[in-house]
Amino acid sequence: MRPDRFVDKVAFITGGGQGMGQQLAIDMAKEGARVVVVDIDVQGLEETRTLLEEQNSDYLIIECDISDDVQVAKAIGKTIGKYSRLDILVNNAGLLRNATIEETTNDLIDKTIDINIKGILYAIREVTPIMKRQSYGRIVNVSSITGYLQRDRPTCSHDKDDVLLGRCEERCDGREDSSEATWYCEGHVQSDDVLILG
Ligand X SMILES: NC(=O)c1ccc[n+]([C@@H]2O[C@H](COP(=O)([O-])OP(=O)(O)OC[C@H]3O[C@@H](n4cnc5c(N)ncnc54)[C@H](O)[C@@H]3O)[C@@H](O)[C@H]2O)c1
Pairwise CA distance, residues 190 & 60, whole Å: 26
By C-beta, is 79 or 157 nearer to ligand X? Answer: 157
112 neighbors 163 (Cβ within 8 angstroms): no
Binding residues for ligand X, how many (CB under 6 A)? 32
Pairwise CA distance, residues 8 & 140, whole Å: 18
| Under rule CB under 6 A, residue 93 binds ligand X | yes
Stretch that binds ligand X, among 34-42, 77-85, 99-107, 171-179 (CB under 6 A): 34-42
The number of angstroms, rounded, from the C-alpha of 80 to the middle of its chain's C-alpha atoms is 17
Residues 139-158 that bind ligand X (CB under 6 A): 142, 144, 157
Contacts of 92 (CB under 8 A, 6+ apart): 13, 14, 15, 16, 20, 21, 24, 140, 142
| Under rule CB under 6 A, residue 193 binds ligand X | yes
Residues 166-185 that bind ligand X (CB under 6 A): none
| Under rule CB under 6 A, residue 104 binds ligand X | no
DSSP 84: S
Instruction: Give the CA-trace dihedral at 113, 115, 117, 123, to 10 degrees.
Output: 150
127 neighbors 86 (Cβ within 8 angstroms): yes
By C-beta, is 31 or 41 nearer to ligand X? Answer: 41
Residues 43-62 that bind ligand X (CB under 6 A): 44
Nearest to 87 by CA among 175, 10, 35: 10
By C-beta, is 37 or 130 nearer to ligand X? Answer: 37
Looking at 20, 26, 120, 164, which residue binds ligand X (CB under 6 A)? 20
Contacts of 56 (CB under 8 A, 6+ apart): none
| Under rule CB under 6 A, residue 112 binds ligand X | no
| Under rule CB under 6 A, residue 18 binds ligand X | yes
| Under rule CB under 6 A, residue 39 binds ligand X | yes
Judged by the rule CB under 6 A, the positions of this chain that interact with ligand X are 14-15, 17-21, 39-41, 44, 64-67, 92-96, 115, 119, 142, 144, 157, 186, 188-189, 191-194
